[in-house]
């Protein structure tokens, strides 16, 4: 079906029907397929009322009923003056004795249903007049044979509306209803591209575009009528006679019928059915011939509306649920007699929707019904079980996606509910017990969590047998035994996990095991009693309850304690290092949370170790300390290893070239005109360095690694003190007198223990100290040779010193100092900054002496170079607030000495170089002095590089004559 030719309908305001229908998907879901035409809940309600008026006729709608108020006082309960509702009695709904309408005068059934469906008197009057005119024009036809939207369009003029917007909405609704019934959801399918279908679609489109063309005898109206009647009068299944099929297709008819049945609920109390339900229901049934509704379809819709109303009104009125259950019983009786695809489709959709919602409640019935099973739970169980049985047994196999065994559907379903709900409430108890345990920590000796859980589980089993099992037994004889078996399995899983984590038989462990033993005896007793009525006497239940074996557990707890704990610690360290993100955090010193956890576990390991029997201390102390030292060393090593070394960050020294003159260079180029490919960083940098892309190796993250190693170094002292304290608590060791010892070659236990206590965690200390130095260097080199690469290697002095001074580098460097200040621990901050300063001086010299072919220097640049070096020094001194001035000057001494060479003339440089290497000024080609990177004024390679970057003919000729160096391009 093509999209609707009529645009979406406009809203009609907030009404009761809209709110219920609009929210139903949030609570329950809608089993009906959506309409292919945009008809809102209000549209369906108003259209269904118009069909009801047409199907009922004026005489049926004028019957009056007696007011239920009479002369009774308003402050007293009122009983109906007539007999109680037969339908309410059949549904098990109590009569309120109060009419749905609280006025004093008697009201007709038509007035009641009109008000129930929220139809205004003006709208009702328009509808009646229009249908009366239509009936007068067709005296040979009954009103139920009218094509209602068409008749209303033809016989209600625009002048009947005072509000143009109201007319526009009404007009579009009629067109959409025609489209829904005759094009989108016709009863007689096929011929969607036939003449009548094409004409009708075109007529609807023209009507929407030119609503002024509406009228009784207009050409557009006649064309629309001809096409609509042609579609509506197509016979179905060989029928003859004057029958209209215009609104009886699925699912349109069910949507409309739902709107009618919804009128049975009080507008002021949606959880209550009106006392006039008998009269209103009889009136609603008059639409069956128009909507093609039979008794089975009516029962399905009525059950669905009752169930839906129970859900959307807060599940407070259990009577609605019991009424839905009564209708489910009727459906179950008649399901086998209705095998039409449409009936099966509707039934399956409704039952599955109800079943799905009911199962969500029943799979956790302890949460849904915390006070125990009541009438609502029993009715819900009956509905859920009946729905399952109908879907599994009464629906032919070809209509089911998956067919389960028919036998014992009810007991199997209830068993699923019991097991699921017990598991759910057990999980909730676990969370509650853990919260209670935490709330009483520090208040004496709290009961261990699993012991509390055992007591609560026993209480739950008792509550289950007393408050839920009596109802559940209607479908499953051993419901209480199933609950006991499920709780046994849940607790057994927890006790097994608990025992697997135990390292020693502590007092807490003893309490837990004793409580577990009592619980097991209680659950087995329940299973035996509840299974007595089973065919096997409950043996199958007992087979599902393997014993906890608490006695055997106690005997196995102390085995291989040290080896297992240390292995677990080592594995835990590796996992947490891999998962650590190394990002600055809220901790004061910005160290990694994983370090806190590693140290905490090491501390707890020692606590548990010293809680073991005293006799085990002497032989395990050495292994314990060595194992902890190895684990902490491993943590430190894994922090450092991924970061590599600083060497991978330093660019390789590019090949030496010579500068012939400075005229061309400085005459044509300015800063930024040299292509990036000339940068030695991009040419020679080792791109395999793990720090290249930042992330876990950014400067803040590297600082966190440094802080973490420092934190471990500090905390090691406390761990060593704990070892000494634990040994002093052992009376078998502390009471021994070292003066009584004899053999030097075989020292007694005390001597051996003292040696262990005196020996520190050397491996951890050494690894942390070396790691801090390595990471500080990596951090410094990362900043200088990585993060500041653009301003240093690609910018500084490129195109001439005067055009590319140090200021951009200083600005970026200052920002990096801010990052260090925010990330590095206070006690390490100056050390990291000191490493950065050394890296800056090294990088500065590397730019001057190995900056590649994009740089040239002359003696005129010497003063500016010295000023730039001074800027770096001043940044780190920070007017006395930074590093000590003596330290800065000491580290800058090499750079200052090398800079002095840049003020010398080329002849002087050549003389110094000749003296350093013994190369004659006019000698033949010689080998280049090796590059060591140890720059100094007496180093031949340093002098050679100053000459290579000197842009004058004297230096160029010397280099060409002696070393045949090529010119820089």
The answer to which of 226-240, 450-464, 811-825 has the lowest mean pLDDT is: 226-240
Could you give the dihedral angle defined by the CA atoms of residues 640, 643, 647 and 653, in that order, rounded to the nearest 10 degrees? 180
Q: 454 in the Ramachandran plot: left (φ > 0), alpha (ψ -120 to 50) or beta? A: alpha
**Pairwise CA distance, residues 385 & 354, whole Å:** 11
* pLDDT band per the 50, 70, 90 thresholds, residue 621: confident
Residue 400 has pLDDT above 90, yes or no: no
**Pairwise CA distance, residues 139 & 791, whole Å:** 97
Q: Give me the pLDDT at residue 557, please.
A: 66
Does residue 13 sit in helix, strand or coil?
Answer: coil
Residue 241 has pLDDT above 70, yes or no: no
Q: Give me the pLDDT at residue 317, please.
A: 86
Residue 791 has pLDDT above 50, yes or no: yes
Show Cβ contacts of residue 646 under 8 Å, excluding neighbours closer than 6 positions. 774, 777, 778, 780, 781, 839
Place of tokens 């139809």: 119
Top mean pLDDT of 102-106, 296-300, 603-607 is at 296-300
The answer to which of 61-70, 324-333, 697-706 has the lowest mean pLDDT is: 61-70
Q: Are 234 and 17 in contact (CB under 8 A)?
A: no
Q: Give me the pLDDT at residue 568, please.
A: 87
Which of 928, 911, 930 is CA-nearest to residue 920?
Answer: 911
**Pairwise CA distance, residues 805 & 865, whole Å:** 8
What distances in angstroms separate CA 551 from CA 488, 506, 608, one per listed residue? 17, 15, 22
What is the DSSP code (8-state) at residue 96? Answer: -
Q: CB count, 10 Å around CB of 739?
A: 5
Angle at 481 between CA 478 and CA 482, to 5 degrees: 85
Residue 384 has pLDDT above 90, yes or no: yes
Residue 380 has pLDDT above 90, yes or no: yes
**Pairwise CA distance, residues 142 & 160, whole Å:** 25
pLDDT tens-digit readout, 69-96: 333 332 333 333 345 578 888 887 765 5
Q: Give me the pLDDT at residue 554, please.
A: 59
Share of the chain above pLDDT 90, in %: 42
Residue 122 has pLDDT above 50, yes or no: yes
Residue 799 has pLDDT above 60, yes or no: yes
Residue 8 has pLDDT above 70, yes or no: no
Q: Give me the pLDDT at residue 921, please.
A: 54
- At residue 237, φ and ψ (nearest 5 deg) are 55, 45
Would the pTM of this model clear 0.95, i.e. be above it? no
The answer to which of 189-203, 431-445, 473-487, 601-615 has the lowest mean pLDDT is: 431-445
- What is the chain's mean pLDDT, rounded? 80
The answer to which of 37-41, 105-109, 286-290, 675-679 has the lowest mean pLDDT is: 675-679
Does residue 695 sit in helix, strand or coil?
Answer: helix
Higher pLDDT, 27 or 751: 27
Q: Give me the pLDDT at residue 556, please.
A: 65
Which of 646, 684, 697, 607 is CA-nearest to residue 850?
Answer: 684
Average pLDDT over residues 473-500: 92
The answer to which of 514-518, 765-769, 916-920 has the lowest mean pLDDT is: 916-920
**Pairwise CA distance, residues 43 & 256, whole Å:** 9
Q: Give me the pLDDT at residue 208, please.
A: 84
**Pairwise CA distance, residues 840 & 821, whole Å:** 17
Q: Are 906 and 660 in contact (CB under 8 A)?
A: no
Q: Give me the pLDDT at residue 577, please.
A: 85
Share of the chain above pLDDT 70, in %: 78
What is the DSSP code (8-state) at residue 794? Answer: T
**Pairwise CA distance, residues 944 & 938, whole Å:** 11
Higher pLDDT, 394 or 315: 315
Average pLDDT over residues 569-591: 82
Higher pLDDT, 744 or 247: 247
Q: Give me the pLDDT at residue 299, please.
A: 94
pLDDT tens-digit readout, 184-236: 999 888 777 788 899 999 999 988 887 665 666 678 888 899 999 989 988 87
Higher pLDDT, 6 or 785: 785
Q: Are 952 and 858 in contact (CB under 8 A)?
A: yes
Place of tokens 């030097």: 744
Q: Give me the pLDDT at residue 207, please.
A: 86
Q: Give me the pLDDT at residue 503, please.
A: 66
Which of 691, 704, 690 is CA-nearest to residue 582?
Answer: 704
Q: Give me the pLDDT at residue 925, please.
A: 60
Which of 133, 131, 162, 156 is CA-nearest to residue 55?
Answer: 131
Q: Give me the pLDDT at residue 213, please.
A: 53
Residue 896 has pLDDT above 90, yes or no: yes
Residue 735 has pLDDT above 80, yes or no: no
Residue 511 has pLDDT above 80, yes or no: yes
Can you list the pairs that 844-847 forms with residues at least 24 positions away whose Cβ atoms lie under 8 Å? Answer: 844/868, 844/869, 844/872, 844/895, 845/894, 845/895, 845/898, 845/935, 846/650, 846/651, 847/792, 847/793, 847/796, 847/797
Q: Give me the pLDDT at residue 612, please.
A: 58
The burial of 790, by beta-carbon neighbours within 10 Å (0-12 exposed, 13-18 middle, 19 or more buried), is given as: middle
Does residue 732 sit in helix, strand or coil?
Answer: helix
pLDDT tens-digit readout, 162-185: 999 999 999 999 999 999 999 999
Q: Give me the pLDDT at residue 52, please.
A: 94
The burial of 464, by beta-carbon neighbours within 10 Å (0-12 exposed, 13-18 middle, 19 or more buried), is given as: buried
Residue 366 has pLDDT above 90, yes or no: yes
Residue 407 has pLDDT above 70, yes or no: no
The answer to which of 271-285, 566-580, 732-746, 796-810 has the lowest mean pLDDT is: 732-746
């Amino acid at each position: 079906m093509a999209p609707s030719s009529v645009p979406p309908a406009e809203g009609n305001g907030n009404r009761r029907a809209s709110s219920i229908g609009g929210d139903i998907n949030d609570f329950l879901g809608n089993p009906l397929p959506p309409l292919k035409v945009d008809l809102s809940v209000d549209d369906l309600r108003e259209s269904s009322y118009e069909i009801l008026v047409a199907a009922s006729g004026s005489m049926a709608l004028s019957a009056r009923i007696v007011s239920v108020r009479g002369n009774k006082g308003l402050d007293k309960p009122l009983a109906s003056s007539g007999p109680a509702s037969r339908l309410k009695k059949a549904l098990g709904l109590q009569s309120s004795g109060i009419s749905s309408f609280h006025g004093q005068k008697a009201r007709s059934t038509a007035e009641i249903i009109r008000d129930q469906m929220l139809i205004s008197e003006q709208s009702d009057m328009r509808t009646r007049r229009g249908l009366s005119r239509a009936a007068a024009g067709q005296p040979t036809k009954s009103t139920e044979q009218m094509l209602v939207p068409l008749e209303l369009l033809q016989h209600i003029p625009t002048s009947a509306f005072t509000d143009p917007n109201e007319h526009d909405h009404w007009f579009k609704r009629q067109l959409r209803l025609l489209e829904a019934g005759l094009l989108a959801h016709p009863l007689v399918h096929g011929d969607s591209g036939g003449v009548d279908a094409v004409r009708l679609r075109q007529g609807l489109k023209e009507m929407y575009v030119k609503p002024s063309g509406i009228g009784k005898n207009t050409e557009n109206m006649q064309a629309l009528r001809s096409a609509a009647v042609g579609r509506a009068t197509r016979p179905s299944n060989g029928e003859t006679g004057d029958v209209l099929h215009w609104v009886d297709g699925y699912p349109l008819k069910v949507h409309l019928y739902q709107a009618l049945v919804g009128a049975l609920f009080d507008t002021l109390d949606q959880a209550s059915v009106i006392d006039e339900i008998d009269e209103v229901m009889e009136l609603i049934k008059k639409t069956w011939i128009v909507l093609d509704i039979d008794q089975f379809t009516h029962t399905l819709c009525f059950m669905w509306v009752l169930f839906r109303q129970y859900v959307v009104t807060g599940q407070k009125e259990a009577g609605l649920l019991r009424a839905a259950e009564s209708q489910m019983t009727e459906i179950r009786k008649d399901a086998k007699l209705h095998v039409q695809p449409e009936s099966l489709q509707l039934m399956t959709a409704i039952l599955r929707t109800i079943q799905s919602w009911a199962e969500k409640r029943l799979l956790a019935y302890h949460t849904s019904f915390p006070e125990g099973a009541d009438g609502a739970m029993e009715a819900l169980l009956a509905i859920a079980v009946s729905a399952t049985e109908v879907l599994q047994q009464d629906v032919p196999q070809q209509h089911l996606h998956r067919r389960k065994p028919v036998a014992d559907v009810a007991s199997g379903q209830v068993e699923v509910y019991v097991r699921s709900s017990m598991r759910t409430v057990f999980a909730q108890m676990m969370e509650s017990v853990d919260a209670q345990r935490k709330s009483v920590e520090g208040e004496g000796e709290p009961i261990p969590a699993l012991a509390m859980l055992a007591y609560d589980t026993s209480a739950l089993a008792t509550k289950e047998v007393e408050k839920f099992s009596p109802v559940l037994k209607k479908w499953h004889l051993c419901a209480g035994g199933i609950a006991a078996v499920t709780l046994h399995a849940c607790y057994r899983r927890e006790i097994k996990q608990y025992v697997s984590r135990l390292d020693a038989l502590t007092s807490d462990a003893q309490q837990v095991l004793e409580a577990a033993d009592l619980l097991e005896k209680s659950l087995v007793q329940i299973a035996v009693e509840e299974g007595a009525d089973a065919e096997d006497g409950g043996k199958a239940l007992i087979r599902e309850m393997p014993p906890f074996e608490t006695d055997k557990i106690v005997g196995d707890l102390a085995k291989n304690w040290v080896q297992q704990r240390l292995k677990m610690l080592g594995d835990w360290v590796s996992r947490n290092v891999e998962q650590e993100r190394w990002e600055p955090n809220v901790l004061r010193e910005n160290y990694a949370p994983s370090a806190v956890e590693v140290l905490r576990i090491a501390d707890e390991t020692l606590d548990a170790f010293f809680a073991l029997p005293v006799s085990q201390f002497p032989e395990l102390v050495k292994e314990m300390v060595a194992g902890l030292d190895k684990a902490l060393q491993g943590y430190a090593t894994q922090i450092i290893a991924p970061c590599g070394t600083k060497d991978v960050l330093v660019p390789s020294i590019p090949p030496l070239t010579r500068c012939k003159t400075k005229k061309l260079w400085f005459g044509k180029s300015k800063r930024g005109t040299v292509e990036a490919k000339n940068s030695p960083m991009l040419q020679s940098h080792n791109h395999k360095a793990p720090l290249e892309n930042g992330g876990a190796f950014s400067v803040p993250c590297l600082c966190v690694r440094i802080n973490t190693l420092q934190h471990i170094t500090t905390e090691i002292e406390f761990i060593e003190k704990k070892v000494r304290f634990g040994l002093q608590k052992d009376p078998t060791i502390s009471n021994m007198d070292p003066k009584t010892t004899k053999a030097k070659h075989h020292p007694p236990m005390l001597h051996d223990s003292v040696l262990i206590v005196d020996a520190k965690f050397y491996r951890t200390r050494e690894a942390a100290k070396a790691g801090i130095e390595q990471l500080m260097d990596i951090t410094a080199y990362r900043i200088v040779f990585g993060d500041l690469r653009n301003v240093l290697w690609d910018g500084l002095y490129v195109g001439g010193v005067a055009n590319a001074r140090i200021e951009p580098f200083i600005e970026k460097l200052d920002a990096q100092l801010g990052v260090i200040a925010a990330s590095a621990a206070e006690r390490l901050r100056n050390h990291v900054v000191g490493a950065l300063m050394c890296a800056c001086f090294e990088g500065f010299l590397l730019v001057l002496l190995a900056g590649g072919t994009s740089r040239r220097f002359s003696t005129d640049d010497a003063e500016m170079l010295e000023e730039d070096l001074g800027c770096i020094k001043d940044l780190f001194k920070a007017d006395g607030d930074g590093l000590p001035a003596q330290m800065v000057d000491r580290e800058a001494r090499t750079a200052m000495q090398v800079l002095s060479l840049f003020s010398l003339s080329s002849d002087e440089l050549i003389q110094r170089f000749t003296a350093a290497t013994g190369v004659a000024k006019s000698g033949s080609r010689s080998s280049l002095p090796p590059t060591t990177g140890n720059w100094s004024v007496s180093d031949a390679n340093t002098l050679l590089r100053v000459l290579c970057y000197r842009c004058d003919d004297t230096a160029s000729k010397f280099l060409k004559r002696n070393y045949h160096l090529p010119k820089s391009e």
